[in-house]
Structure 1
């Protein structure tokens, strides 16, 4: 599997050097459309992720950072998330109007008025605060169209095996990044793994996300998405990034 990934990465990188020619494979687009259609039709979803990401510690010095997460998304404007990193748990709760972040290690929380839908909130959180909470691009109804507009190459790389399961392999590339997606071959088409490789400034880096433990169309009480400050916790100010 490692040799296959390295070979595919080399192919995708070489595609970025061939100018601005657009190549979008119809098989890959069909599979991506089915994934986007699936997520557009469900009412709620719960899943877990394992993430390995290159993070800049100093100039020209990257370290690998690992985290695990669990998320619940219900309707267009409810989200609850638990992220475990650096040996501690961090919680996010969004009720459609306010997002609250709570650190269990420091026993502090911060709250901010947020956009009125989950997808808008995730974009806002990334753009204003530099927090990419969850890789949720395929949850957008126009996911395939956005990918076609941003990626010069979209290719179906064939059927392969990942962790003992049959999956579809799709690769995309533009001049600044490559994306590889592995989609399960079950009746419900869902992502199994995504690898993003950023090729440009300030340094080349990679993020790998594994998805697992999917549950769909469960009904979760509103209390899951509301935040109740724990005893002796303190509130701090949420500062936007520069």
Structure 2
């Protein structure tokens, strides 16, 4: 297989390379969308945070047929420089550990792992990993120094569509136009915490207009994880491999 290329649980689709216009001075946001993002920023900026996510995405196989792949994630964050993401899905299990100095990617199924230096905190570490794998991961915006600004980085306009009920909780339904033909829909609780409940990203300019969908549960800002939780200790029978760009699902994996 491509070394750790199966870490597609953290991927959506290859990053689009369409010509992008210059960033606006400030995106055109409605008052209600701006207020919701300001509240969301406080929630996502908590020094300690954990949540779960169920994700799905669409990809095209060799014949151009759109297919779906599903994953479940458990995320644990301790700002500014600790992160653990456990992923299980249709293509197996993969874990990411960040201890403030290095990022370790581990596939329990395949017994392979990769380690790379990544000082500088969570946002810089994730950016380095995603650049190395050449993949896009919309949830990376949740871990920015200012999550609301990370979410708005390529947004040109946004507004509140209305409200919707998710698992018995009233949520604000927000819509954002991003550059390069990308659209983002975000549902946050209509409370003073604005906890995210659902995210959909649609890539209009990519073949098949693939989508990334995430449903969030189990938000907790009172976790107190120790350093050992974020430290990766490779099993004795695991093999270290070089980190390579991810192989999209549906393509043959090299053994």
Query: TM-score band, normalised by the shorter chain?
Result: 0.7 to 0.9
Q: 1:219 to 1:145 in 2, by over 3 A?
A: closer
Q: SS of 1:224's equivalent?
A: helix
In the alignment, which of 62, 68, 84 is matched to residue 66 of structure 2?
A: 62
Q: Give the whole-Å Cα distance in 1 for the aligned partners of 2:229 and 2:137.
A: 18
In the alignment, which of 205, 209, 212 is matched to residue 207 of structure 1?
A: 212
User: What residue is the counterpart of 1:5 in the other structure?
Assistant: none
Q: SS of 1:105's equivalent?
A: coil
User: What residue is the counterpart of 1:130 in the other structure?
Assistant: 134
2:121 aligned with 1:97, yes or no?
no
Q: 1:63 to 1:111 in 2, by over 3 A?
A: same
Q: Give the alignment's TM-score, normalised by structure 2.
A: 0.79
2:48 aligned with 1:48, yes or no?
no
User: What residue is the counterpart of 2:196 in the other structure?
Assistant: 191
CA apart distance, 1:238: 1.4
Contact between 1:37 and 1:141, CA under 8 Å: does it hold in 2?
A: no
User: Structure 2: which 5+ residue stretches go unaligned?
Assistant: 1-23, 248-255
More helix by share: 1
Q: Give the alignment's TM-score, normalised by structure 1.
A: 0.82
Q: SS of 1:230's equivalent?
A: coil
| Structure with greater contact order relative to length (CA < 8 Å, sep ≥ 6) | 2
Aligned length: 221
Q: How does 1:1-242 map to 2 (within 5 A)?
A: 23-40=28-45, 42-58=46-62, 60-86=64-90, 88-132=92-136, 135-145=139-149, 147-148=151-152, 150-174=154-178, 176-240=181-245
Q: SS of 1:167's equivalent?
A: strand
CA-atom RMSD, angstroms? 2.3
Please tell me whether Structure 1 or Structure 2 has the larger radius of gyration of its CA atoms: 1
Following TM superposition, the consecutive aligned residue runs of length 4 or more in structure 1 with deviations greater than 6 angstroms are none
CA deviation digits over 1:25-73, x for unaligned, max 9? Answer: 1110111011112322x21111110001012222532211100010111
CA deviation digits over 1:125-172, x for unaligned, max 9? Answer: 112213456613144344444555522320111222123221111111
Q: SS of 1:227's equivalent?
A: coil
